Amino acid sequence: MVPIFRRVALPFALLASPLPAPAQGFENLELLDNRVAAALGANIGEPGGATTPIDRRLRLQACPQPVEIGEPIAGAVAVRCVPLGWRIRVSIVGTPQTGRTAAAGPARPQARPEPVVRRGDQVELVAIASGFTVSTLATAEQDGAPGDRIRVRTERRNAPVIGQVLEDGRVALPGFNGL
């Protein structure tokens, strides 16, 4: 016969035993969607924005620093966590200026406007909304003509953001009422 103490103590001993460590934190995909929308200057489904939200089945390890969002290339942007080495591609909706259909025929060569911003230039990064403008200094990571979207960085340790080059050489953050 097992003493009552052992019968009662055994469940408590099992509860007190060390449990496996909880799974490492995963990247918040909703916040990642918002970050991509901010970088592209367009919401999901809008021209220039992501075609769909990031697949919620993904289990990406939480990045210890802000993720990097690359320049739109071939209909997608790359979202990277450099310290952990993961990368995903997010498809973007074609914009009316760049989206073409087969019926439109071959593209005609157009004269490329001269860049007003050169890589390494210090530029004014602005957020323009109805009634106010907020600005800070940033460094251009690419050349850009008026209307081009380029990467700029406010500080070396911060992830770059994508802004649109204005005629006067400033770079505007899209997604505000001004653009």
Residues 91, 35: Cα–Cα separation, whole Å: 14
Map residue 172 onto helix, strand or coil: strand
The reply to whether 5 falls in a domain is no
Residue 122 lies in a domain: yes
Structural domain that includes position 48: 29-91
Q: Are 39 and 83 part of one and the same domain?
A: yes
Residue 9 lies in a domain: no
| End-to-end CA, the chain | 81
Which residues have CB under 8 Å from 25's CB, separation 6+?
A: 61, 62
**Domain total for the chain?**
2
pTM over 0.85? The answer is no
Based on the domain organization, do 81 and 134 belong to the same domain? no
Separation between Cα atoms, residue 59 and residue 24, nearest integer Å: 10
Residue 138, domain CATH = 2.30.30.760
Q: Does one domain contain both 51 and 82?
A: yes
pLDDT tens per residue across span 20-67:
433 458 899 888 888 888 888 888 888 888 888 888 888 899 999 888
